[in-house]
Structure formats: structure tokens, C-alpha cells
Amino acid sequence: MAARVWTIQNQKGGTTKTTTATNIAACLATVHKKNVLLVDLDGTQGSATDWAGARSDDAVPIPCVIMRETIKRDLPRISAGYDYVIIDGIPQITPLTSDAIKIANLVVIPVQPSQYDIWATRDMVQLVKDRREVTDGTPNVAIMVARAIRNTKIEKTASDALEGYELPILKARTYQSVSYVNGIAQGLSVFDLPNDQAQDDIKAITLELLEMDK
Ligand SMILES: Nc1ncnc2c1ncn2[C@@H]1O[C@H](COP(=O)(O)OP(=O)(O)OP(=O)(O)O)[C@@H](O)[C@H]1O
Ligand SMILES: [Mg+2]
């Protein structure tokens, strides 16, 4: 069976695309025992590649490849034998971004719950909506709130603005936490570190995505 392709994309920089991609990949590999391939679209920055390269031999393997302009042509061959391909997107809208959306079964748009970030996500939302219009509704898409502050409500205007995009918003979200930062140098995910709330959050996010991508 062909691998399911999930693209984590937002053209705004620093919205936690890479952190989300690596941890969702780790959740699928570690918790759900799936064969997962990470694809790094950002060869210049290479964050997902560095993370995967630093990963110790004791951790569940998550291979990572850099793919660029030929992704549409090459992904079916490269993803053979994998259950899931998680694509870590780039902070730009280019033909490569469009291809990463075209080949996805599911697009996840991480957005920090501040008005600047929500405004900056506008073009990304439009790109996915335009694609869905010409394809009769594929790929599936979800907005994921990222780095929320625990025990605080998202400001009402930010919450209204997110809803204004009229796309599904995941119930689960990531919260501001050092757990996502601590293991990066060793290629670790929150699942390779002591159990904490971040694990539960990524598990809940992954479950919602699995449910959407049935
Ligand atoms: N939940 C979190 N809590 C605290 N820090 C976080 C969290 N998620 C990500 N970070 C940190 O925020 C920064 C941006 O995250 P990340 O590199 O994943 O974003 P990105 O969208 O991939 O960025 P780029 O657009 O440059 O590719 C990083 O320093 C990362 O360690
Ligand atoms: Mg990144």
C-alpha cells in the first residue's frame, strides 16, 4: 500500500514546522510502530536532516531525506515500503510548496496563537483552499495551534481570526515547553525523553490526524 503523506507547512518562519514534523514522525514510529520516512524540503537549513542524523542508534530509526524540485516525480519510489511520509516544509511559498501540498494526503498548518502569526498564515491557507477547490477536497487540512501557553485562554481576537480561516482546527495543540527543545542535539523526540505532558499532546495531535486521514 502506498505511504500516507502528511505535509507540515506554513510559509511563516519559526511556526514549529520542524518540531511538529519530527515529533509526529516519532509518535508514529514509537507509539504506533509504523515505518516512517521524514522528508526535509529545506536543504539549506537542513534542520530535520540534522535531527535525524544526530539520532542515536538506540532510538527507533527515523530516516530523513532531503528532497527538492523532483519530489513529485520521485516520492512514490523513495517512499516505497514506508507507512507514513512526514514532510517538513519550508518558510516560503514556492513551486516546491505547491508540490508538497499536491502530493499530500493531509496538510498540517502549525500556527502560533498570536495575531501576527495568524495574519502571516493567510497565503498558506489560501494556497490549500485553492488546491482543494480544483481537486474536490484533497488534501485534507488542519490548523494546529502551536506553543500555546498552558492554563491561559487564547486571546479572543486570535481565536476568532483562526476560526475565520474556516478550516478544521485540531482540538489538541502543543504548548510552550522545554521538552521540545531539550533533546534536539541528540536527535531525540519527546518520546525518547521522560514521560511528560508534551508526549500526551503529540499523541493527541497524532490521533486526531490519524482519524482525519482514514
Ligand atoms: N512547543 C514548543 N515550546 C518551546 N519551544 C518550541 C516549541 N516548539 C518549537 N520550539 C522552538 O521554536 C523554534 C522554532 O521551531 P522550529 O524550528 O520547529 O520552527 P520551523 O517552523 O521549522 O522554523 P523554520 O520556518 O525556520 O523552518 C525552535 O527553536 C524550537 O526549538
Ligand atoms: Mg524548520
Planar angle of CA 153, 122, 117, nearest 5 degrees = 40
The ligand 1 atom at the shortest distance from the C-alpha of residue 181 is: 31
Residue nearest to atom 23 of ligand 1 (CA): 14
- Cα–Cα nearest to 22, from 68, 43, 1, 53: 53
- For 122, the grid coordinates are 493567510
Rounded to the nearest whole angstrom, what is the distance from the C-alpha of residue 22 to the centroid of ligand 1? 11
pTM of the model: 0.97
Along the 214 residues of the chain, how does pLDDT read in single tens digits?
899 999 999 999 999 999 999 999 999 999 999 999 999 999 899 999 999 999 989 999 999 999 999 999 999 999 999 999 999 999 999 999 999 999 999 999 999 999 999 999 999 999 999 999 999 999 999 999 999 998 888 888 888 999 999 999 999 999 999 999 999 999 999 999 999 999 999 999 999 999 999 9
Cβ-contact 106, 73 below 8 angstroms: no
Q: Which fold has domain 4-204?
A: Rossmann fold (3.40.50)
Strand 64-66 and strand 36-40: the pairing is: parallel
Q: Contact at 8 Å (CB) between 172 and 201?
A: yes
Q: Cell digits for 201?
A: 499532546
